[in-house]
């Protein structure tokens, strides 16, 4: 468990595959998430969680509000390369009402520190669509820079960002 001022993060479990979580994939900006099309019923979520929890090279965390305990988003590092000291990150603040409050930055910074201390990760990389202004802003605020990297193939619509820990 990773705790911050407003949040706690922990690996997702089968029982987190709720209708509320499924509804995120019908909400605003859910098309930004590559797995959206695969999520049609809670069993799809359960399968997706199980596959990731079975892998040593994946850290799939739920983001929960500390006061209410509500599940409001997910933060995923897939894959984590302990050989190269690099992890590829993705985030989804699923509850639209939780957006615009700096939740992404708070969660990412705490999980990054955990990865640095516990798994010796030195670099976080991600791919972001060039028109995803909210995401770019959230990443820039915590120090990510636009930079090419081996892990992310750039395209006309997607660029890579890198944070050195």
Ligand X SMILES: CC(C)(COP(=O)(O)OP(=O)(O)OC[C@H]1O[C@@H](n2cnc3c(N)ncnc32)[C@H](O)[C@@H]1OP(=O)(O)O)[C@@H](O)C(=O)NCCC(=O)NCCS
- Which residues are at the interface with ligand X (CB under 6 A)? 29, 32-33, 91-93, 99-105, 128, 132-135, 137-138, 141
Residue number with CB closer to ligand X (17 or 107): 107
**In terms of C-beta distances under 8 Å and separation of at least 24 residues, what long-range contacts does 152-157 make, across chains too?**
152/88, 152/125, 152/126, 152/127, 157/129, 157/130, 157/131
Residue number with CB closer to ligand X (9 or 33): 33
CB of 61 to ligand X, least distance (A): 14
Q: Which of 28, 139, 55 is nearest to 12 (CA)?
A: 55
CB of 141 to ligand X, least distance (A): 6
Residue number with CB closer to ligand X (27 or 50): 27
CB of 114 to ligand X, least distance (A): 18
Task: Give the CA angle between residues 104, 108, 111 to the nearest 5°.
Answer: 145
């Amino acid at each position: 468990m990773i705790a911050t001022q407003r949040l706690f993060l922990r690996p997702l479990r089968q029982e987190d595959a709720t209708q509320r979580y499924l509804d995120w994939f019908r909400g605003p900006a859910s098309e930004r998430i590559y797995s959206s099309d695969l999520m049609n019923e809670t069993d799809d979520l359960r399968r997706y969680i199980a596959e990731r929890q079975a892998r040593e090279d994946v850290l799939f965390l739920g983001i929960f509000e500390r006061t209410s305990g509500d599940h409001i988003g997910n933060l995923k590092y897939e894959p984590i390369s302990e050989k190269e000291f690099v992890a590829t990150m993705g985030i989804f603040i699923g509850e639209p009402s939780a957006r615009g409050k700096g939740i992404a930055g708070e969660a990412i910074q705490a999980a990054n520190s955990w990865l640095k201390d516990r798994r010796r990760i030195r670099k976080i990389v991600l791919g972001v669509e060039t028109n995803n202004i909210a995401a770019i802003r959230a990443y820039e605020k915590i120090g990510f820079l636009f930079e090419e990297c081996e892990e992310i193939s750039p395209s006309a619509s997607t660029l890579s960002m890198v944070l050195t820990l």
